[in-house]
Structure 1
Amino acid sequence: MAPFSFSATPHFNTAPFSSNPLATRKDVQNFLKALLDPLAAHTSPGGALIHLGYTGTHFDERAALLEGYARPLWGLASLLAGGGSYDGMHRWTEGLKNGTNPSKEGDEFWGWMRDKDQRMVECSPIGFSLAVAPQMMWDGLNEEERQKVGEWLNVMNSKEMPNTNWLWFRVFANLGLSKVGSPFFNPERMKADMDHLDTFYIGDGWSRDGPEGVVQLDYYSSSFAIQVAQLIYSKLAQDQDPDRCEEYRNRARKFAHDFVCYFDEEGRAIPFGRSMTYRFAMSAFWAALAFADVSLPSPLTWSVIRGLLLRNLRFWAHQPGAYNPDGTFTIGYSYPNFNLTENYNSAGSTYWAFKAFLCLAVPQSHPFWSEEEGEEYPVVLRNRVKVLNKPLHIASNLGGHTLILSSGQQCSYPVKQSAAKYGKFAYSSAFGYSVPTGNLTLEEESADNMIAVSNDGGETWKCRIKTREARFETVEGTTWLRSMWYPWPGVEIETWLLPPHPESPNWHVRVHRIKNTTFHTISSAEGGFAIHGQGLDGRALEVLVVEELGGSNKFGNLEKDGEALSVSPAGASGVIDLNPEAAVAQRDGKAIRTDANSNLIVPRAVLPTLRYDQSAEEVWYATGVFAVPVRDGESGSRDEWEEGWKSRRPTVPEAILKLMRG
């Protein structure tokens, strides 16, 4: 699939890896090597430190340089484990010797680990490499060097670690030491960590990542950490811990039924939660299934799993903004964007993406590689709505639009832009999500798929970060999410989220009841999906009347009472007041040009929005949210959105109308 160009892009602004078809095992090996090669110019003389940019993190610079060294090992070790080779392997061999040698302090030494030290994270790929690629990481070391590696890794056995997925990093350090026969392997510490990690399991294949009672089930619970770690362990520890390994494979089979809902037919995964700069690590779970040789649950087959992974890699290979001119990763998502990053994202952090290269440890004879890549997307998984009970999501790919409705997730500790990453009503693989650049204007707030509220006349805005009382309800065959938000004392916002319906597949419905017992007027602004905000000429969309809007080359914004619609080469996005008889609020429709670099996928976005100033004690809003993304690189046209926008509008279920009528 050729990538869609959102604007008049210069011909030289192309992704450096787009010529690779990424169809075979050899193609994926070449992709990995092409990503490893540029790191040579940024590597220290002793190989232990890779410096990729001048950025700040909450941890020290030496740990950031260790990230640059360690994280590419996920890919390099997998390549070697699968029988591949890489001419630059010696850089990492030397780096391990020098990074763990305290006599190199001030030069190449990584430094000793303290409690909750970022260095602990990087022990995970190092331990994995010891286990699967000892020819690079161990066999060439002399006894003194092996002693120093063991001593350095062993430090974490006596240090405090966060009570999260981080415990897996110590497990992997010990697993690696055990595989190479190091006397520093601590079996008691590893078993205690494993037993505790198993208490995170909450059913249906899902494990929480954080305190009990807090719903934070993002990619760390799947491809970034927990699921992948369990699958790698199930392969490497089968002889020592067979019962636990089988349990992990069982969890993965259950989890796969839910996780497939986060991917679309074009290979994109739905951006949700933190660490989006890890990019194609989103698809590492599919690679880990192959690495662990899990027997797959129907309707998934190895050809389907291969397609899910390779389409995701192809998508990322075609994103020019994901790479610097020399082929190293930028910090961001589809383009360089520090606004979305967390305070633990260094320039080397991005190479967590290399977990997706676990598939290279799988031999060519494995059906993952030997079977032909499967259909675009399993037929049985298309055009459906599925309730995902544990993450409090409702997934839908009706109408060519893959999304999740969400209520109840939140981060248990401070994370930059946490409200945007966990608190939105909907998240989309096609449109991504936006993060605020500030909170003084709606342009700064970039409140896509949120309801922003203000109690100071619009001087500052607030979006939900802590959702309360979130639950599913099923009435007359329809399941929706219902939840509460309390932005200020005396203000309550209750929300119902209803998924798309076959009769209106491009829409989902939101209903809000806002109670205000304060003396303040509550201003609200509810956004739909943020969409690329330029026409084919690269200029900002203009406001047009409905008769002008349409045609293969006519794009623009529609603004009127109760409606806002934006049509661009990326598709169409809109919001309407459904205005049932019980709804008292009639809102103004506006297309807001959000601040540049707020959306993950496009740097210049426009956001259809409904505005209202509430002085009454109670107001109900009923909102239809419309989205039709362009697929397969074709330009948008009136035919692609007009029928859905005008003729297939949704309705509010009678059960909710009764509540609105009182």
Structure 2
Amino acid sequence: MAAGTSPSFFTSLNSALATRSEIVQACKSLLTPLLPFFSPGKTRLRLGATATRYDEAGAQLEGFTRPMWGLGALLAGGESFEGSELWLEGIRNGTNPDHPEFWGWSKDLDQRMVEMCPLGFALCVAPGHFWKPLNERERENVRRWLDINKKEMPNTNWLWFRVFANLALMKNGAEYDAERLEADLNHLDNFHLSGGWSNDGPPDTLQMDYYSGSFAIQYLQLLYAKLNGDRDPKRADIYRDRARMYAKDFLHYFDEQGQDAPVETEALYLTVSGRAMTFGRSLTYRFAMAGFWAAVAFADLHLEPPLSCGVIKGILLRNLRYWSQQKDTLNGAGILTIGYGYPNQFISENYNSPGSTYWFMLSFAALALPESHEFWQCREEPYPCHSIPQIVALKHPKHIMVRRGGHTFLLSSGQMCHYPMRAAESKYGKFAYSTAFGYSVPTGGYFVEAIGGDNILAVSDDQGESWKVRRMPLNARLETVDGTPVLISEWKPWADTKVETYLLPPTEATPNWHLRVHHIRTGSRNLKTSEGSFALNGVSEKDERELQQMDTDKSEGRLADNGEAVAVTRGGAVGIVELHQPGARAGRVLDEDANSNLMESRSVLPSLAMDIAANAGVWVATGVFAMPSSVSNYKRKWQKSWMQRPQIPDWLRNRMV
């Protein structure tokens, strides 16, 4: 290894990440850098100094347990790992109340409950490594520590963590609470609505993000079906049926970069990767966003066409390749950082410890399958872009999924987080989310460049001193007009102010554009407004300095005029246009506050600004343009598409009176 090079996932792998042996090495390359960070008693890993809402012992426990998603699968698949004995020693000591590094008993609503899930999985799939070596006293210590059956838990996906605590004990012949296990499973089944979709939390709040699928509910349903289907066949069949339905929708949350290039040779695997939709919370888990597909493989589940085994394998492995190519997700010691495309505390939640990022490793579940398994033997197939619609309305999450004009994104209305959370309005309340252009979050509230202003309409009633954006949507609904899905919703920044928004997907004639039409009623307030397009990389490719005015050949730079703004960088081309009152809104390209964007530490944002007087009712119509850099020769193609503006459909114009 070259001097100064990190012992990381990225530098230690010069492979296509296409075979089981290569994925084994990828998993090990993430586990190995952890070994120097074990505490003396091997019960904890201190991977950083930042804090969480829960105690430091719980945070360091996360560093211990979460890598077990990958380690457990690795060992279950017949592989070895030189550091696995450290985790065994940690289990012995961490569950021993007489040991100085005892993990501590769980209280109500305790973070320790979450960490019982990856530990429980490892105990289920690799008992020969983590259970059988224990003596009777040590097993009893594990049993007592996992017994949270009389503790209060949140009414969310957390209930699955108690299921896996009981399941681990049951699978290893230890005493467990069968009644509580059944009661938790019955209660979790109430989260399911239809079509495979489960709400994560109370029924009066719509929250369907990766926790409904890859991070928790669908993922753990499939693991349960595989691990306990022999004892609970009826429920296992229900979970498999839900997964088959869910997969048809979840397929649309992924793209395939370079999808026009055929994947015919091993060399081409290195140039093809697949991104996941940046939507919702906990995106610092990164590769875990593809976890559902790993669970499908683990559970031996066959899905309906076009979701063949080869297609599923491709979605999973392309997403791993995508993360293997992101050079700023690990620190110098090879440890996963809090952030998304780079280290970033602004996008984190208050439950993200330095070790929590290793939820990432649940997507290695397919390593529990042997080399001879169909999943590893089948040929990887490309994303089935020619077999699925380009525009699909998903009624349960209230999303319109779009794959048109070289861009994969969704339009959203209706979702919100049901409890206070940092940047919740950015993670659930924006109008659009993308696989290519990550969303931005607030870094402050006193200037418009710091509010995370992409794909939102922000309003201020104090001359821009503070800004409000949509967090709690009202009366959100999907309609179909002339065969096209439309999302309609309302929100009230103040009691006397109301905004109604229509979201329309691209047409065939203008595939790089989507429409937003807003009816703004100001009430008693004079308002400033700012609406943003997608944000993108904000530096010059020529000299890495701040993005300048558009160059003469229009292959790079920023350009703003009355009623429109556009930026072209190495990230692609994005823009925004006022279509109803072209002179009424001022075009600007904002320099977003540094580190506000998920993917780009320096980002710019084409936007439109407008002042509206009190007691007014104003209609504005916004065209939002996007062409990601994955479109071949986009620096030459964008201009023609940019000038081909979308039209407001007649049915909507008739309402704009």
Q: TM-score, normalised by structure 2?
A: 0.95
Residue in structure 2 matching 1:159, options 151, 162, 180 = 151
Residue 456 of structure 1 aligns with which residue? Answer: 462
Residue 644 of structure 1 aligns with which residue? Answer: 641
Q: Name the CA distance, whole Å, in 2 between partners of 1:459 and 1:539.
A: 29
Q: Name the CA distance, whole Å, in 1 between partners of 2:649 and 2:558.
A: 29
CA shift in 2, pair 1:47/1:635, >3 Å:
farther
Number of paired residues? 634
Instruction: Check conservation: 1:436, 1:445, Cα contact below 8 A.
Output: yes
Q: Equivalent residue of 1:141, what SS?
A: coil
Residue in structure 1 matching 2:507, options 477, 481, 501 = 501
| Deviation, structure 1 residue 451 | 0.5
Residue 168 of structure 1 aligns with which residue? Answer: 160
| Deviation, structure 1 residue 378 | 4.2
- Aligned pairs for 1:178-327 (under 5 A) are 178-183=170-175, 185-266=176-257, 267-327=274-334
Residue 51 of structure 1 aligns with which residue? Answer: 46
| Deviation, structure 1 residue 342 | 0.4
Query: Is 1:122 aligned to 2:115, yes or no?
Result: yes
Residue 268 of structure 2 aligns with which residue? Answer: none
Query: Is 1:435 aligned to 2:441, yes or no?
Result: yes
Query: Is 1:574 aligned to 2:575, yes or no?
Result: yes
Larger CA deviation: 616-625 vs 27-36: 616-625
Instruction: Check conservation: 1:464, 1:487, Cα contact below 8 A.
Output: yes
The Cα offsets for residues 228-272 of structure 1, whole Å up to 9 and x where unpaired, read as: 000000001111110000000000000000001000112100111
- In structure 2, runs of 5+ residues without a counterpart are 258-273
Residue 524 of structure 1 aligns with which residue? Answer: 529
CA shift in 2, pair 1:594/1:549, >3 Å:
farther
Residue in structure 2 matching 1:396, options 380, 393, 402 = 402
Paired residue type of 1:176: A
Residue 658 of structure 1 aligns with which residue? Answer: 654
Instruction: Check conservation: 1:570, 1:636, Cα contact below 8 A.
Output: no
Q: Name the CA distance, whole Å, in 1 between partners of 2:385 and 2:439.
A: 26
| Deviation, structure 1 residue 539 | 1.1
| Deviation, structure 1 residue 544 | 3.4
Residue 535 of structure 1 aligns with which residue? Answer: 540
Q: Equivalent residue of 1:157, what SS?
A: coil
Larger CA deviation: 362-371 vs 503-512: 362-371
Instruction: Check conservation: 2:588, 2:608, Cα contact below 8 A.
Output: yes
Query: Is 1:41 aligned to 2:36, yes or no?
Result: yes
Q: Equivalent residue of 1:122, what SS?
A: helix
| Deviation, structure 1 residue 446 | 2.5
Residue in structure 2 matching 1:337, options 344, 364, 373 = 344
CA shift in 2, pair 1:241/1:468, >3 Å:
same
Instruction: Check conservation: 2:540, 2:548, Cα contact below 8 A.
Output: no
| Deviation, structure 1 residue 635 | 6.9
Q: Name the CA distance, whole Å, in 1 between partners of 2:514 and 2:553.
A: 23
The Cα offsets for residues 100-119 of structure 1, whole Å up to 9 and x where unpaired, read as: 00111xx3110010000000
Instruction: Check conservation: 1:569, 1:635, Cα contact below 8 A.
Output: no
Q: Equivalent residue of 1:397, what SS?
A: strand
Paired residue type of 1:53: G
Cα RMSD (Å) of the superposition? 1.5
| Deviation, structure 1 residue 129 | 1.0
| Deviation, structure 1 residue 163 | 0.5
Residue in structure 2 matching 1:141, options 134, 140, 149 = 134
Q: Name the CA distance, whole Å, in 2 between partners of 1:446 and 1:192.
A: 42
Residue in structure 1 matching 2:22, options 19, 27, 50 = 27
Instruction: Check conservation: 1:549, 1:556, Cα contact below 8 A.
Output: no
Residue 488 of structure 2 aligns with which residue? Answer: 482
Q: Equivalent residue of 2:455, what SS?
A: coil
Q: Name the CA distance, whole Å, in 2 between partners of 1:588 and 1:16.
A: 46
Q: Name the CA distance, whole Å, in 2 between partners of 1:16 and 1:211.
A: 44
Residue in structure 2 matching 1:422, options 424, 428, 440 = 428
| Deviation, structure 1 residue 562 | 0.5
| Deviation, structure 1 residue 478 | 1.6
Query: Is 1:384 aligned to 2:394, yes or no?
Result: no
Q: Name the CA distance, whole Å, in 2 between partners of 1:429 and 1:205.
A: 23
Instruction: Check conservation: 1:322, 1:329, Cα contact below 8 A.
Output: yes
- In structure 1, runs of 5+ residues without a counterpart are 1-10
Residue 619 of structure 1 aligns with which residue? Answer: 618
| Deviation, structure 1 residue 375 | 2.0
The Cα offsets for residues 593-631 of structure 1, whole Å up to 9 and x where unpaired, read as: 000000000000000000000016111110000000011
Q: Name the CA distance, whole Å, in 2 between partners of 1:222 and 1:635.
A: 35
Q: Name the CA distance, whole Å, in 2 between partners of 1:412 and 1:426.
A: 20
Q: Equivalent residue of 1:379, what SS?
A: coil
Instruction: Check conservation: 2:426, 2:452, Cα contact below 8 A.
Output: no
